[in-house]
């Protein structure tokens, strides 16, 4: 469970870093385009597009992992209960004695 949270945080932060680098590369491309008006710096534009796509994909993957974490927790925390045959109180299934009346509970087979 802890490793899933680490992967989630890593993917989200990696996506943000990729987006930051992409914005920087695109900004550099725009600066060079305004100064020279040639296509020599077009690889910066292409790199920026690729990094933007990868950054968004990492952020989407982290959101997908985040939505799976609560569903796994809810499926693991299932509490099985039974009723005491003497006093009728609700008890956990693995209890051998009733906490309310103190009588030994019958094993169901």
Q: Please report, for residues 27, 29, 31, 48, 103, the alpha-carbon distance to residue 34 in angstroms, rounded to integers and kept in the order given.
A: 11, 9, 5, 17, 87
The model's pLDDT over 47-101, given as tens digits with 9 standing for 90+, comes to: 888 888 888 888 888 887 777 665 544 555 566 788 888 898 888 888 888 888 9
Give me the pLDDT at residue 16, please. Answer: 86
In this prediction the pTM is 0.50
pLDDT in tens, 41-56: 677 778 888 888 888 8
């Amino acid at each position: 469970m802890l490793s899933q949270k680490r992967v989630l945080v890593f993917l989200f932060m990696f996506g943000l870093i990729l987006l930051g680098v992409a914005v920087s590369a695109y900004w550099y491309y725009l600066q060079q385009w305004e100064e020279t008006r040639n296509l020599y710096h077009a690889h910066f534009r292409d790199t920026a597009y690729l990094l933007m796509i990868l950054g968004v994909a990492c952020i989407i993957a982290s959101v997908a992992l985040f939505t799976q974490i609560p569903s796994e927790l809810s499926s693991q925390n299932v509490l099985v209960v039974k009723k005491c045959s003497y006093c009728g109180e609700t008890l956990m299934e693995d209890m051998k004695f009733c906490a309310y009346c103190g009588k030994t509970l019958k094993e169901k087979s």
